[in-house]
């Protein structure tokens, strides 16, 4: 025997739940002074908003079954029309809210406007449609007082249950929406504790005082907690009040303890209770909206403060940048101009002055290149690609081979990771500055054997590139300032102080960082940390 398709099996389960609730509603209706609860009406609204209009046949079948449970054996045309009341209520709720009001994505409780729209279109108007059916029931006989009482009964039943379950249980956004997801209440432990105490208080209240005289206390309690904790607590408390006040008294084990059995059928009590339920939920929704707005404002304020701090820092860096650029550009030019004038006075020494002019030009060229690197590192669009580290290190070193002392340096290239995924320009800029510093700041005495080690490896998904040297090192008091713009770490520094700052900015754009360890007189080690990119 073949297994039933999954969707058919679920349909049978949903149908069985509806029929069970229809039978229970019929049994509850025979209890003296009971509220005329019809639970399948609630479930019909839940089903159609969870699973869509494809669930309508299940709801319609339940309408026919309900009539049979109530003793109907013949189904003339009028009776067949009356069996459609559950389906009509559910379809009206779905059409008005999700179709006419264009709320395709079912999110009725995200703010106060959506909540009010759902109450009107998804509950109030569909209940009015049901009242047309109720008016034609044989036992009502067109009595508008009874019709009004049934309307309030339906509202008190549907409003707390439907809103609570639709808020905390929602369909998954998949093609066949037969699976539900549960949203865990975002309620603090203190709120749960207070909610437990108020439930105990309501139970004691139900035992000591008749509901028809003191019903308003429940509403006041719900409104107070809505003001204190917001929407989620309000709708949970409304369900608790509904169960304590309207369901619990209907059972023999509970009714014997209570002063009054169940809720009375006073119109004023139902009107007041339905109003208090609505008001408490509305107050809770408004309070939650205000709390959410306050949180958003605080987040925006924090972001604005952070942006202002970053902007202030950038402005300070820009001021220093403009000052230093003007100084570092003008100093070589003034030196060149002075040397040209001296060479005119002492033409026999021209070759000496030309060498000095060449050094000044090289300094100027190097500085301009650093400024261009700074601009490119901050403005270019990041483009990730596969980069061979060995090739890029060789290219960088070939540019430095004419620097003083380069031929004496021993390079140890240890690449456990040979290829990384990153932006070629930013990696080149960072490595260029790290290798340049390692070459420039070697010790200047004869016995020293300079070495530079480049080690690339991977740790916990991070790509690391370490550049170490045995050069001068950096004094401890300077190390915290080393990555600041235009900071020079040694007295012998001939650079602009931009190199490490540019390297830090370049790696920062890639979501990484540069760490450093150094001991004065023993050398330095700089490590680039890059997040792994697939």
What residues are paired with 171 via a beta bridge? 180
Half-sphere exposure of 80 toward its Cβ, with a 13 Å CA cutoff?
A: 3
| Mean pLDDT, range 113-120, rounded to an integer | 90
Is it the case that residue 100 has pLDDT exceeding 70? no
| Mean pLDDT, range 154-177, rounded to an integer | 80
CA proximity to 510, closest of 364, 400, 397, 382: 382
| Mean pLDDT, range 251-270, rounded to an integer | 53
CA proximity to 171, closest of 161, 184, 181: 181
Q: What is the pLDDT of residue 495?
A: 55
d(CA 504, CA 490): 19
Local confidence band at 34 (pLDDT 50, 70, 90 cut-offs): very low
CA proximity to 494, closest of 353, 370, 334: 370
Is it the case that residue 162 has pLDDT exceeding 60? yes
Which two structure tokens, joined as six digits, stand for 223?
């409104």
* Tokens 């003296």 belong to residue: 32
d(CA 352, CA 359): 11
Local confidence band at 286 (pLDDT 50, 70, 90 cut-offs): very high
Counted residue by residue, the chain has a size of 534
The answer to whether the CB of 263 falls within 8 A of the CB of 34 is yes
H-helix or E-strand spanning residue 332 = helix 267-345
| Mean pLDDT, range 226-238, rounded to an integer | 88
Whole-number Cα distances in Å, 44 to 64, 88, 210, 357, 420? 14, 10, 32, 91, 58
Q: What is the pLDDT of residue 261?
A: 45
The answer to whether the CB of 253 falls within 8 A of the CB of 214 is no
The vertex-260 CA angle with 266 and 210, nearest 5°, equals 75
pLDDT tens, 39-98?
A: 888 989 998 988 888 889 988 888 888 888 877 777 788 888 888 888 999 999 998 888
d(CA 117, CA 235): 17
DSSP state of 510: T
Alpha-helical segments (H) within 209-266: 211-214, 216-229, 231-242, 252-255
Q: What is the pLDDT of residue 35?
A: 46
d(CA 189, CA 478): 49
- Strands (E) in 374-434, as ranges, are 384-388, 410-415, 419-423
Percent share of the chain, pLDDT over 70 = 80
H-helix or E-strand spanning residue 361 = helix 350-379
Local confidence band at 108 (pLDDT 50, 70, 90 cut-offs): low
| Mean pLDDT, range 14-42, rounded to an integer | 72
Q: What is the pLDDT of residue 248?
A: 62
Is it the case that residue 486 has pLDDT exceeding 70? no
Whole-number Cα distances in Å, 350 to 333, 356, 362? 18, 10, 18
pLDDT tens, 322-333?
A: 655 665 566 667
d(CA 317, CA 313): 6
DSSP track, 5-47 = PHHHHHHHHHHHHHHHHHHHHHHHHTSTT-----HHHHHHHHH
Which two structure tokens, joined as six digits, stand for 24?
């229970």
The answer to whether the CB of 86 falls within 8 A of the CB of 60 is yes
Burial class (CB in 10 A: 0-12, 13-18, 19+), 148: middle
**Non-local CB neighbours of 456 within 8 Å, separated by 6+ positions:** 389, 414, 415, 416, 417, 418, 420, 463, 464, 465, 466
């Amino acid at each position: 025997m073949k297994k039933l398709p999954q969707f058919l099996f679920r349909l049978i389960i949903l149908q069985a739940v509806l029929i069970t609730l229809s039978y229970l509603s019929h049994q509850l209706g025979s209890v003296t002074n009971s509220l005329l609860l019809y639970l399948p009406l609630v479930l019909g609204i839940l089903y159609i908003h969870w699973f869509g209009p494809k669930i309508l046949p299940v709801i319609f079948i339940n309408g026919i079954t309900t009539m049979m449970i109530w003793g109907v054996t013949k189904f003339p045309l009028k009776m067949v029309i009356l069996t459609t009341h559950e389906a009509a209520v559910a379809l009206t709720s779905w059409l008005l809210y999700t179709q006419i009001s264009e709320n395709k994505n079912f999110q009725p409780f995200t703010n106060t406007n959506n909540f009010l729209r759902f109450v009107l279109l998804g509950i109030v108007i569909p209940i009015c449609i049901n009242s047309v059916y109720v008016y034609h029931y044989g036992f009502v006989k067109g009595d508008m007082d009874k019709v009004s009482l049934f309307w309030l009964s339906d509202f008190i039943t549907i409003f707390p249950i439907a809103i609570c379950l639709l808020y905390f249980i929602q369909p998954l956004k998949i093609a066949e929406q037969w699976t539900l997801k549960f949203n865990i209440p975002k309620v603090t432990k203190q709120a749960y504790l207070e909610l437990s105490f108020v439930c105990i208080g309501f139970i004691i209240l139900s035992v000591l005082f008749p509901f028809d005289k003191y019903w308003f206390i429940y509403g006041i309690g719900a409104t107070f907690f809505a003001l204190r904790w917001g929407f989620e607590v309000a709708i949970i408390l409304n369900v608790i009040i509904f169960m304590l006040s309207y369901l619990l008294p209907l059972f023999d084990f509970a009714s014997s303890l209570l002063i009054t059995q169940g809720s009375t059928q006073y119109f004023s009590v139902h009107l007041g209770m339905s109003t208090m339920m609505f008001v408490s939920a509305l107050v809770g929704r408004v309070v939650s909206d205000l709390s959410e707005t306050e949180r958003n404002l605080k987040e925006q304020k924090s972001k604005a403060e952070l942006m202002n701090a970053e902007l202030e820092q950038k402005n300070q860096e820009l001021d220093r940048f403009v000052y230093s650029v003007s100084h570092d550009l003008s100093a070589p030019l003034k030196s060149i101009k002075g040397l040209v004038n001296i060479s005119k006075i002492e033409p026999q020494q021209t070759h000496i002055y030309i060498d000095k002019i060449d050094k000044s030009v090289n300094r100027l060229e190097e500085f301009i290149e650093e400024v261009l690197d700074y601009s490119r590192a901050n403005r270019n669009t990041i483009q990730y690609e596969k980069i061979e580290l060995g090739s890029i290190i060789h290219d960088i070193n070939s540019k430095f081979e004419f620097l003083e002392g380069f031929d004496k340096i021993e390079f140890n290239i240890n690449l456990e990771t040979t290829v990384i995924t990153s932006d070629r320009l930013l990696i080149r800029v960072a490595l260029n500055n790290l290798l340049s510093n390692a070459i420039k700041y070697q010790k200047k005495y004869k016995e020293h054997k300079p070495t530079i080690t480049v080690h690339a490896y991977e740790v916990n998904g991070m790509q690391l590139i370490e550049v170490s040297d045995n050069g001068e090192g950096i004094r401890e008091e300077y190390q915290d300032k080393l990555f600041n713009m235009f900071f020079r770490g040694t007295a012998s520094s001939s650079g602009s102080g931009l190199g490490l700052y540019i390297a830090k900015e370049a790696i920062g754009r890639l979501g990484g960082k540069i760490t450093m360890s150094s001991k004065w007189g023993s050398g330095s080690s700089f490590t680039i940390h890059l997040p792994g990119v697939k």
